[in-house]
Amino acid sequence: MRRYRQEKVRNEGSIAMATRTALVTGATSGFGAAIARALTSAGWRVIATGRRSERLEALKAELGADRLLPVTLDMRDGDAIRAMVAGLPEGWREIDCLINNAGLALGTGPAQASDPKQWEEMVATNISGLIAITHTLLPALIAAKGAIINMSSVAATYPYAGGNVYGGTKAFVRQFSLGLRSDLAGTGVRVTSIEPGMAETEFTLVRTGGNRAASDALYSGADPMTAEDIAATVLWIATLPPHLNINTIEMMPVRQSFAGFAVTREG
Ligand code: NDP
Ligand code: 8X3
């Protein structure tokens, strides 16, 4: 019978049983912080990245320095990503799972009214940063026969007004995940694209430039998913037996559903 692989012995001669290690991007808030909590609760060690160092330090104080390594990192800086991986301290270099969670949407307006700088920031974070860290960690992940869990979105599949570049970046994440699966065949590395719908985090605050009323109005009465819902799914996928790959998983709150086609009779 195949066993679920929660822990892996790296040094069978010693009494120490090495715990599995995950690198979680965007761990200062929302899904990423919840994923760090869920994984450490299940016995993992987590390298937690994000720009807001003080939040990473708070997470370290909460979860323990032996469990969580905070690393300040801007995903838009490819050189910083490569330097971060090269500079990981001894004992934190064997990575079993990369969770590409950092990302953002900026703006809710139509393409023709959008700020191109916001488009560039979404591409730099959601696509360029994600591929840079993935490429840098592939040797370690192949050595570990590990897993890559990428945070896409329902916006990858279902277009909506104002989704323009954000949806495009998440479609990239989904298709890149499937492409990675093809390329990594035979390595033992598993790849999953998680595609959530509405979940209440700081996502809408960021998207609207800090508009708390707009964020509250969006989630009010919608019974949205929580960061813990997504974290539980990540933990489930990360601890599946090594012969099993979840390719894509789409999740929504019950109260969110699909819009029909829009028809305009003017213009
Ligand atoms: P939050 O805004 O709560 O968290 C976003 C995280 O991404 C933060 O930790 C932030 O860290 C990090 N991040 C953003 N830009 C950068 C950057 N340039 N460099 C490093 N880290 C960065 O949102 P969520 O938790 O909701 O979002 C997490 C992921 O889930 C995103 O990829 C999002 O697109 C996706 N998603 C969210 C959904 C939702 O409804 N909430 C639904 C579907 C997908 P910091 O600012 O400290 O750098
Ligand atoms: C975030 C979900 O529906 O706001 O990726 O695009 S949605």
Domain count, the chain: 1
37 assigned to some structural domain: yes
Q: Is 104 in the pocket of ligand 1 (CB under 6 A)?
A: yes
The predicted pLDDT at position 59 comes to 98
The predicted pLDDT at position 218 comes to 98
Q: Measuring from atom 3 of ligand 2, which residue has the nearest CA? A: 197
214 assigned to some structural domain: yes
What predicted TM-score, i.e. pTM, was given to this entire model? 0.95
Q: Is 253 in the pocket of ligand 1 (CB under 6 A)?
A: no
The predicted pLDDT at position 116 comes to 98
Taking 90 as the threshold, does the pLDDT of residue 1 lie above it? no
Best mutation site among 108, 152, 153 for ligand 2, i.e. most ligand atoms within 8 A of its Cβ? 153
Best mutation site among 46, 51, 208 for ligand 1, i.e. most ligand atoms within 8 A of its Cβ? 51
Taking 50 as the threshold, does the pLDDT of residue 9 lie above it? no
Taking 70 as the threshold, does the pLDDT of residue 16 lie above it? no
Q: Given pLDDT bands bounded at 50, 70 and 90, which one contains residue 267?
A: confident
The predicted pLDDT at position 165 comes to 98
Instruction: Give the Å distance between the CA of 166 and the centre of ligand 2.
Output: 9
Report, as an integer, the average pLDDT of 236-264. Answer: 96
Query: Which is nearest to 157 in space by CA: 129, 177, 131?
Result: 177
Range of the domain at 224: 6-251
187 assigned to some structural domain: yes
pLDDT (tens digit per residue) in 44-90:
999 999 999 999 999 999 999 999 999 999 999 999 999 999 999 99
11 assigned to some structural domain: yes
Instruction: Give the Å distance between the CA of 36 and the centre of ligand 1.
Output: 14
Arithmetic mean of pLDDT over the chain = 94
Q: Given pLDDT bands bounded at 50, 70 and 90, which one contains residue 42?
A: very high
Instruction: Give the Å distance between the CA of 3 and the centre of ligand 1.
Output: 33
Instruction: Give the Å distance between the CA of 155 and the centre of ligand 2.
Output: 6
Q: Is 85 in the pocket of ligand 1 (CB under 6 A)?
A: no
The predicted pLDDT at position 10 comes to 42
266 assigned to some structural domain: no
61 assigned to some structural domain: yes
132 assigned to some structural domain: yes
Which of the ligands is closest to the CA of residue 103? 1
Q: Catalogue the active-site residues.
A: 166
Give residue 133's region: left, alpha or beta (phi > 0; psi -120 to 50).
alpha
Report, as an integer, the average pLDDT of 2-24. Answer: 56
Report, as an integer, the average pLDDT of 218-232. Answer: 98
259 assigned to some structural domain: no
Calculate what percentage of the chain has a pLDDT beyond 90.
Answer: 91
Report, as an integer, the average pLDDT of 242-250. Answer: 97
Read off the CATH number of the domain in which 14 is found: 3.40.50.720
Q: Is 74 in the pocket of ligand 1 (CB under 6 A)?
A: yes
pLDDT (tens digit per residue) in 77-127:
999 999 999 999 999 999 999 999 999 999 999 999 999 999 999 999 999
Best mutation site among 151, 198, 208 for ligand 2, i.e. most ligand atoms within 8 A of its Cβ? 198
The predicted pLDDT at position 18 comes to 58
Residue holding tokens 């609760």?
41
pLDDT (tens digit per residue) in 118-151:
999 999 999 999 999 999 999 999 999 999 999 9
What SS3 class is residue 42? Answer: coil
DSSP state of 127: I
Q: Is 198 in the pocket of ligand 1 (CB under 6 A)?
A: yes
Q: What string of DSSP letters covers 173-228? A: HHHHHHHHHHHTTTTT-EEEEEEE--B-SSHHHHHTTS-HHHHHHHHTTT--B-HH
Instruction: Give the Å distance between the CA of 201 and the centre of ligand 2.
Output: 11
Question: Which residues are CB-neighbours of 194 under 8 A, at least 6 positions away?
Answer: 149, 150, 151, 152, 230, 233, 234, 237, 248, 249, 251
